Amino acid sequence: MEPDWEGPLGEAYARATTYLQSLPVRRVGAETTADELRARLGGELPKAPTSAVKVVEALATNVEGGLVATGSGRFFGFVIGGATPASLAADWLATAWDQNAGLYAAAPAAAVIEEIAAEWLVELFGLPEQTSVGFVTGGQMANFTALAAARHAVLAKAGWDVENDGLIGAPAITVLAGAERHDTVDRALRFLGLGTRCIVPIAVDEQGRMRPDALAAELHKRPTIVCAQAGNVNTGAIDPLDEICAVAKETQAWVHVDGAFGLWKTVSTPIKGLEQADSWSTDAHKWLNVPYDSGLVFTAHPDAHRAAMSVRASYLIHDEGRRDPLDYNPEFSRRARGFAVYAAIRALGRQGIVELVERCCAMAQRFANQLAPYVLNEVTLNQVLVSFGEITPQVVKSVQQEGTAWMSGTTWQGRPAMRISVSNWTTSETDVDRSVEIIRRCVETEQARSTQG
């Protein structure tokens, strides 16, 4: 029997197009409870087949109200970007082609696309020409992969083969990381068997930037990894990478830069000292605005990268003249996420990426200007921290429930704050102004409630 592709895919296309076209006007936050979603979607295990068209129809209908419109120009939570038309379309094709992008032999086009996109990314970020690149799920696995390469390199210098001999009996590794680092660094160290007790927190300034003098005081001749940051998750502040790298290199420490979103800033305004690091991580699903999931890891030392990640087996087909993607990431079988990255860069070009980054920064500054009395940070990137005192958590919740915009909450230097992250390619001045109006209204409402209470 011939499969019916047109029916379910046609229904999915129609539903997806309707959803995407509704983003400028639809409610941003979800409004359906988990119990309601379970009641709609759950039930007994199906006993008999159901037509694919009916499955797609029911799925699209029943998740309505349970979707957060993260692709909206008024979604400002968690540094989540949207998806450009070219990258979304390429991602659909990647799903239809269903390539297993681990080996060149199994997916030649996917492997070559990654190779080309990798070269473009290295050029965009101004990294060393020999830099190796891995396509992973997100910042978590990008940090994991980079730190695995770092673990290999610093232990190899100490005469230890960690891939063959493990960590039992190995020289201790010290990780010097800013006190305001992202939690994915700690989590990666747990995955790598190093544990979080190997971390020595380095003092930061009032914006969360690592202090080079505090770093220098902790550097010694021992296996050491320095974790710097391009884009503090709260303030957007970028560590002084030129000074950090200069200090770290005196003791041959490996410098990793967690640049989940901030790394993209260098496409617009070069980040001084960025190219002097040993590894870097970022997300394409943040400021490049490709669909989830899409993380990127870079190392200036391809041999260490491959040593930490590669595998060889008799049942695999390796062509030494070709790039096997599994040599650069921790996954074996995986989707061909390079197609979306390639399409995004091809469609935007350097100029379009620069404009995207600069527009988001300008919109963040527009937020800061209109909410000036409440702003806590120096707005130098796409992050704006605002606080309304003790009522801040209630204001965040009220804004989310109102539905026009969506921001997340945080705590900054002991104070509750609202975190506004501008990362979407469609965010306009109108989106910002509408969102500010709602924030102000919610602040007034919560202040009145607080007074009455």
Give the DSSP letter of residue 210. Answer: B
User: What's the mean per-residue pLDDT of the chain?
Assistant: 97
Beta strands in 127-234 (DSSP E): 132-136, 174-178, 199-202, 224-229
Q: How confident is the model at residue 453 (pLDDT cuts 50, 70, 90)?
A: low
Distance of alpha carbon 8 from the chain centroid: 31
Give yes or no for residue 118 having a pLDDT over 80: yes
Give yes or no for residue 18 having a pLDDT over 90: yes
Q: What is the mean pLDDT of residues 72-89?
A: 97
Taking the C-alpha atoms of residue 88 and residue 82, their distance in angstroms, rounded to an integer, is 10
Q: What is the mean pLDDT of residues 60-71?
A: 97
Taking the C-alpha atoms of residue 413 and residue 31, their distance in angstroms, rounded to an integer, is 32
Cis peptide, bond prior to residue 205, ω within 30 of zero: no
User: What is the model's pTM?
Assistant: 0.96
Give the DSSP letter of residue 276. Answer: G
Q: What is the mean pLDDT of residues 339-358?
A: 98
The dihedral built from the CA positions of residue 139, 386, 397 and 420, taken in this order, carries a sign that is: negative
Residue 128 is predicted with a pLDDT of 98
Residue 154 is predicted with a pLDDT of 98
Quick one: which H or E segment has residue 359?
A: helix 338-370
Residue 319 is predicted with a pLDDT of 79
Give yes or no for residue 219 having a pLDDT over 70: yes
How many other CB atoms are there within 10 angstroms of residue 84's CB atom?
22
Residue 452 is predicted with a pLDDT of 81
Give yes or no for residue 360 having a pLDDT over 80: yes
Q: What is the mean pLDDT of residues 95-112?
A: 97
Q: How confident is the model at residue 12 (pLDDT cuts 50, 70, 90)?
A: very high
Residue 321 is predicted with a pLDDT of 83
pLDDT (tens digit per residue) in 255-304: 999 999 999 999 999 999 999 999 999 999 999 999 999 999 999 999 99
Give the DSSP letter of residue 372. Answer: G
Give yes or no for residue 114 having a pLDDT over 70: yes
* Cβ-contact 345, 353 below 8 angstroms: yes
Q: How confident is the model at residue 234 (pLDDT cuts 50, 70, 90)?
A: very high
Residue 378 is predicted with a pLDDT of 97
Give yes or no for residue 25 having a pLDDT over 90: yes
Give yes or no for residue 320 having a pLDDT over 90: no
